[in-house]
């Protein structure tokens, strides 16, 4: 077996070894290029998702800002309505005060002028006594 190996010159062995190594390297590079394509595709997909997330985040921030502004407006309107209601209550109290005073005078006149007697008379009337 070693006799036929001696028939091939040493430079040819070097050429065969070089071809085998080059072929192995080419196979390895081809595999790495396939992996690189896969990683690039995954990276591009991830970048697309990241861009979509960032865009959604920006939209949500705008919406939150709009909602906060609307809530602030609603709070201001509620405060205004509350102030108007307080003023209306105060005005109603002032208007009713004269009526209350007149009603108390009438009750006092009907019961002999004693405020406690007037209250007792009204309570007894309500209780049916």
Rg (CA), the chain: 50
62 located within any domain: yes
4 located within any domain: no
The sign of the CA dihedral 18, 24, 25, 27 is: positive
6 located within any domain: no
pLDDT, tens digit, 9 for 90 and up, residues 70-86: 999 999 999 999 999 99
* pLDDT more than 90, % of the chain: 37
Mean pLDDT of 13-36: 90
| Domain residue limits at 21 | 13-127
Residue 129 confidence (pLDDT) above 80: no
The sign of the CA dihedral 128, 111, 106, 102 is: negative
Band of the pLDDT at 87, cuts 50, 70, 90? very high
90 located within any domain: yes
pLDDT for the residue numbered 78:
95
Evaluate if pTM is beyond 0.75.
no
Contact 81, 92 (CB under 8 A): no
18 located within any domain: yes
Candidate ranges 17-31, 46-60, 63-77, 113-127; pick with highest mean pLDDT:
63-77
pLDDT, tens digit, 9 for 90 and up, residues 100-117: 777 777 776 665 556 676
Tell me whether residue 100 is exposed, middle or buried, using C-beta atoms within 10 angstroms of its C-beta: 0 to 12, 13 to 18, 19 or more.
Answer: exposed
112 located within any domain: yes
Look at the chain and report how many structural domains it folds into: 1
Residue 63 confidence (pLDDT) above 90: yes
Lowest mean per-residue pLDDT among 57-61, 65-69, 77-81, 93-97: 93-97
3 located within any domain: no
19 located within any domain: yes
């Amino acid at each position: 077996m070693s006799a036929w190996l001696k028939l091939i010159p040493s430079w040819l062995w070097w050429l065969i070894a070089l071809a085998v190594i080059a072929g192995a390297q080419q196979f390895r590079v081809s595999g790495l290029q396939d992996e690189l394509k896969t990683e690039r595709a995954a990276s591009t997909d991830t970048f697309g998702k990241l861009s979509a997330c960032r865009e959604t985040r920006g939209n949500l921030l705008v919406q939150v800002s709009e909602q906060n502004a609307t809530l602030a407006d609603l709070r201001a309107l509620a405060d205004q309505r509350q102030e108007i209601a307080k003023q209306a209550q105060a005005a109603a109290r002032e208007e009713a005060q004269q009526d209350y005073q007149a009603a108390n005078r009438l009750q006092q006149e009907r019961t002999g002028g004693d405020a406690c007697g007037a209250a007792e008379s009204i309570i007894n009337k309500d209780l049916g006594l």
